Amino acid sequence: MPGATLYDKLFDAHVVRKEPDGTALLYVDRHLVHEVTSPQAYEGLRLAGRKPWRTSSIVATADHNTPTKDWDQGIRDPISRTQVATLDENVRATGAKAYFPFRDRRQGIVHVIGPEQGATLPGMTVVCGDSHTSTHGAFAALAFGIGTSEVEHVLATQCLLMKKAKSMLIRVDGRLPAGVTAKDLVLAVIGRIGTAGGTGHAIEFAGSAIRALSMEGRMTVCNMAIEAGARAGMVACDDTTMDYLRGRPFAPTGALWDRAVAHWRTLRSDDGAAFDATHVFDAAAVAPQVTWGTSPEMVTSVAGRVPDPDRERDATRRDGMAKALAYMGLAPNTPITDIRVDKVFIGSCTNSRIEDLRQAAAVARGRRVAGNVKLAMVVPGSGPVKAQAEAEGLDRVFRDAGFEWREPGCSMCLAMNDDRLEPGERCASTSNRNFEGRQGAGGRTHLVSPAMAAAAAVAGHFVDVRRLF
């Protein structure tokens, strides 16, 4: 009998019961809640006369709508303010294990604060009304995004109805070259397997290059599993996982820690476990990546050129490329390094952690944002990330270089607050989606790593960050 995959172990351990067609009732250990996808769920719960099943599973924060400056003035947009106030009321009325409201010093992007507080632990099922919940799979957790009806279902029952997905192994062997990061790696993976490549699958990322990543790097990779179509991405537990978690506020301590670690050590795929699909990558062959289109799969290396739709044989794909280039205002065959940027955004649940900021600051140090760049902004992922960066003097480095240093939140990743692109503006962004209008109607997004974003800021156009070291 073949061994079990990590996904098998995580899924099977949470099955409460099964329907005849295999649909499982899956128990949820951790429910992360934010202001955008929860109000209708709490309302539904209330109208049906129900209460949250286990409030100690809930960790909540406001992140999508919150401003990143002038916090003393509160939230000026009345509709955003109402949504955040609604979360305040819902959490205060029904309870939670932890709530980090707007302006709390531990507030931040939900996918940054979960791990940071030790609220995300190996072996857990972690859900949130947010597709980037896949981030938490970096801790050998089964973590995935859900819709608002499912948020209500979890609130009411502590469970979800779902069928087991297929399993996919993405094995990355070798070592990433200097200056090439987890972000470049995951963009290269998406470039090869496509944005629907992982649809219907749970992806396990493995191999020596994944094991060599820090927890923050692993979070960046798992974060973008959804951009490859997979609801869940995950990485096996190892010493790197334990070292990150030890001493976090909600992590177990003492004898309980030892018991937990003994269990967590089993959270890896057995030798010889069979996957439904396998893709193998060579880390040494990955170069810094830049997206050129309106889907994360539309990506190439910084040394590449904008592709020519006329050379694409598939009609739907060719049409998609032509539409993307028209939207992006790019001509076929343009060298990536000839693309000039108007704005630079360093932040988001993909790349706003302390290591991301250190990598960007290393490029910004002693340089100046180029004259053609209207705005370069750094948005830390959480209050603790911001405090740590300031303790290391990174805020000074950024400010001295001409970057704006902001308060934590989702910010211009999805532009629900005031941070956005104007029509036609072009942005080097460390976020996760380059969809049309994602960062503002008519805005043009190029996804890159934090170091590459900082390099674009100081050069005024895309440049291979390795030339700046």
Partner 1 sequence: MAPPRPSGPAHPMQPFTVHEGLVAPLDRANVDTDAIIPKQFLKSIKRSGFGPNLFDEWRYLDRGEPGADNARRPLNPDFVLNLPRYKGASVLLARRNFGCGSSREHAPWALADFGFRALIAPSYADIFYNNCFKNGLLPIVLPDSAVDRLFADVAAFPGFRLVIDLPAQTVATTDGSLVVPFEVDPFRKHCLQHGLDDIGLTLQHADVIRAFEAKRLAEQPWLQ
Using CB under 8 A as the binding rule, the residues of this chain from 276 to 295 that contact partner 1 are: 295
Looking at 67, 101, 137, 229, which residue binds partner 1 (CB under 8 A)? 229
Residues 150-169 close enough to bind partner 1 by CB under 8 A: 150, 152-153, 156-159, 161-163, 165
In angstroms, the CA 319 to CA 122 distance is: 43
Other beta carbons within 10 Å of 53: 16
Regarding 349 and contact with partner 1 (CB under 8 A), the answer is no
Looking at 183, 406, 438, 461, which residue binds partner 1 (CB under 8 A)? 438
What is the H or E stretch that residue 144 is in? strand 142-145
Looking at 72, 310, 316, 371, which residue binds partner 1 (CB under 8 A)? 316
Regarding 19 and contact with partner 1 (CB under 8 A), the answer is yes
Residues 255-274 close enough to bind partner 1 by CB under 8 A: 256-257, 259-260, 263
Regarding 12 and contact with partner 1 (CB under 8 A), the answer is no
Rounded least distance, CB 169 to partner 1, Å: 18
- On whether the CB atoms of residues 4 and 97 are closer than 8 A, the answer is no
Regarding 37 and contact with partner 1 (CB under 8 A), the answer is yes
Q: Which listed range, 44-52, 265-273, 391-399, 452-460, lies at the site for partner 1 (CB under 8 A)? A: 44-52
Regarding 320 and contact with partner 1 (CB under 8 A), the answer is yes
Rounded least distance, CB 333 to partner 1, Å: 23
Regarding 200 and contact with partner 1 (CB under 8 A), the answer is yes
In angstroms, the CA 443 to CA 378 distance is: 18
- On whether the CB atoms of residues 410 and 109 are closer than 8 A, the answer is yes
What tokens does 44 get? 């539904």
Looking at 4, 39, 305, 365, which residue binds partner 1 (CB under 8 A)? 39
Other beta carbons within 10 Å of 400: 14
Regarding 56 and contact with partner 1 (CB under 8 A), the answer is yes
Q: Give, in order, the Cα–Cα distances in Å from 19 to each of 16, 22, 150, 161, 287.
A: 10, 5, 18, 9, 47
Site string for partner 1, 118-137 (x = CB under 8 A): ---x-xx----xxx-x----
Rounded least distance, CB 368 to partner 1, Å: 32
Question: Which CB atom, from 199 or from 208, has the smaller least distance to partner 1?
Answer: 199
What tokens does 259 get? 């018991």
- On whether the CB atoms of residues 130 and 110 are closer than 8 A, the answer is yes
* Sheet with 201-206, edge to edge strand ranges: 232-234, 201-206, 166-173, 277-282
Regarding 207 and contact with partner 1 (CB under 8 A), the answer is no
Rounded least distance, CB 75 to partner 1, Å: 11
Helix, strand, or coil here: 214?
A: coil
Looking at 4, 25, 277, 387, which residue binds partner 1 (CB under 8 A)? 25
Question: Which CB atom, from 41 or from 346, has the smaller least distance to partner 1?
Answer: 41
Regarding 415 and contact with partner 1 (CB under 8 A), the answer is yes
Across the chain, how many H-helices and E-strands are there? 15, 19
Regarding 238 and contact with partner 1 (CB under 8 A), the answer is no
Long-range CB contacts for residues 216-220, cutoff 8 Å, separation at least 24: 216/182, 216/353, 216/354, 216/355, 216/356, 217/181, 217/182, 217/355, 218/138, 218/182, 219/111, 219/115, 219/135, 219/136, 219/138, 219/353, 220/181, 220/182, 220/183, 220/186, 220/350, 220/351, 220/356
Question: Which CB atom, from 127 or from 394, has the smaller least distance to partner 1?
Answer: 127
Looking at 12, 239, 243, 319, which residue binds partner 1 (CB under 8 A)? 319
- Please, what is the end-to-end C-alpha distance for the chain in angstroms? 51
Q: Which listed range, 31-39, 182-190, 212-220, 349-357, lies at the site for partner 1 (CB under 8 A)? A: 31-39
Regarding 50 and contact with partner 1 (CB under 8 A), the answer is yes
